[in-house]
Amino acid sequence: MSLISHVFKLKSQSHILIARQTSQLTACIGDRKETRDRQARHRIVMLIGAFVFGFLLIGGRLVQYAHTEQDSTDALSNPYVVASRPDIVDRNGQLLATDLNMVSLYADPRRIVDADEVVEKLAAILPNLHWSETHKKLKLNSGFQWLRRQLTPRQQADILALGIPGIGFRPEKRRFYPGGRTAAHIVGHVNIDNLGLAGMERYLDQQGLADLRASGMTSSASLEPVKLSIDIRAQNIIREVAAKAMNVYKAEAAGAVILNVNTGEVLAMASVPDYDPNKPSRTLADGSVDKDYEKGWFNRISNATFEMGSTFKSFTLAMGLDAEKITLNSVIDASRPIRMGGFTIKDFKGKNRPLTIPEVFQYSSNIGTAAVADMVGIEAHRQFLTKLGLLSKMNTEMPGIATPTQPRTRPARRQI
């Protein structure tokens, strides 16, 4: 073989080897590129998955939070509504009752991390905080629990400074009575939720105010003041007089009323003992409720019945004249006591002689009045008193008006 042929043969083999190596290198590069592309796709998929998982996690927490808030709403009766009550004023516009803006402390037990720590911190700010009861509330599976109602501004600021997660504040209204005890039985009082319990406060709720407040219709409305017929100046005087008389005569209770005889309006009405509507209940040192203090809630003027005494003689004599059983010239024998219905009726300072009808009234004769009542009879007597409204409950705005009592209808047998 010639030298030239040998050279060409070597070149040909070199070209084949280079081609093979090039082909192998190209294939290797292609495999690596495909691997990188596959890895890039995997990274993208993983990144997208991470984003999706994050969004799902955040969305789930938002849904859970929404349900927690709903549970909080369900735990209270319309807790987000800050409803108002109208002011109560006397006939001259003097303020008797009004609302004050307050805040109350609540907890979301589901967000409380360490109940012991929370109670310990709150107890340092809130006096008389019931440790075990508060701790129990913080351990409940609930979205809302009241911890303390109607805080002072200083207490709110101190609690805010603690920065405790899971507790917050809600605006509320607190009823305030500037006159204190002065017109307690007339104005009445409310409970911790500002619902009327006694007096005019209760009357207003009975007229539909409670329903309006529950629906939130009074939350932003400016309610017109409720004007009463009383004059707080006369009310203050009459209460002082009643309280002084009770102390002087060592009485269990006392009361007084001033009426406008032309209109029937009550200008003043006092019943003692009474209470402070700003603090209608008191707690004793042992933690029990002061029952003696709460006896002051009872309004003896409107919630009790009394014997009318000699004032009733006016109606009895009027009844006899109306029934035409007597005239002003009639004469009643009041010279000696009479027995009627098993009782002996006599005069306190009797004249011991026959009396005309004007004299029966003038000397307040029990004998003469009983004789006239006997002439009229039981049934006619009842009809007359019914016609005057004396046997019916008095029609007034004051709640708890007592129903008049009547004696048994056993026929009375008169014995002279």
Active site members: 310
| C-alpha of 408 from chain center | 40
393, with CB counted inside 10 A (0-12, 13-18, 19+), is exposed
Length of the chain, please? 416
